[in-house]
Chains A and B, each alone.
Chain A
Amino acid sequence: MTAAAHAMTPVPWRIAATRRETSDTFTVNLEPRAGAAGFPFAPGQFNMMYLFGAGEVPISISGDPTTPQKLVHTIREVGPVTRAMGALKRGDTVGIRGPFGSHWPVVESAGADVVIIAGGVGLAPVRPALYQVLAARRSYGQVALLYGTRTPADILFRKELEEWRSRFDLQVLITVDRGDRDWMGSVGVVTSLIPQAKFDSGSTLAVVCGPEMMMRFTIRALQDRGVSEDSIFLSMERNMQCAVGFCGHCQFGPKFICKDGPVFSYDVMRPWLAIREL
Chain B
Amino acid sequence: MDENHLQLMVGCASNLRVDAGQFIFHEGDPANELYLIRSGRVSLEFFAAERGVISILTLGEGDPMGWSWLVPPYRWKFDARALDLTRALVFDGECIRKKCEQDYKLGYDLMRKSVAIVEQRLEATRLQLLNLYGVPAGTP
Which residues of A are in contact with B by a Cβ distance under 8 Å?
Answer: 55, 57, 76, 78-82, 119-122, 148-150, 154, 175, 177-181, 183-192, 196, 210-211, 213-214, 217
Contact = CB atoms under 8 A, between A and B. Distances in A.
B83 A184 contact: yes
Contacts of A213: 130, 132
Given A149-B133, A213-B132, A217-B132, A185 B140 contact: no
Contacts of A80: 140
B135 A211 contact: yes
Contacts, number: 89
Interface of B: 41, 43-45, 52-58, 60, 83, 124, 127-128, 130-136, 138-140
> What secondary structure prevails in chain A residues at the interface with B?
mixed
Nearest to A76: B135
Contacts of B57: 187-188
A192 B60 CA distance: 11
A189 B132 contact: yes
Contacts of B60: 186, 196
Contacts of A181: 52-53, 55
A121 B56 CA distance: 21
A177 B128 contact: yes
Given A55-B140, A184-B83, A217-B127, A154 B52 contact: no
B52 A180 contact: yes
Given A55-B140, A79-B140, A192-B124, A211 B56 contact: no
A119 B132 contact: yes
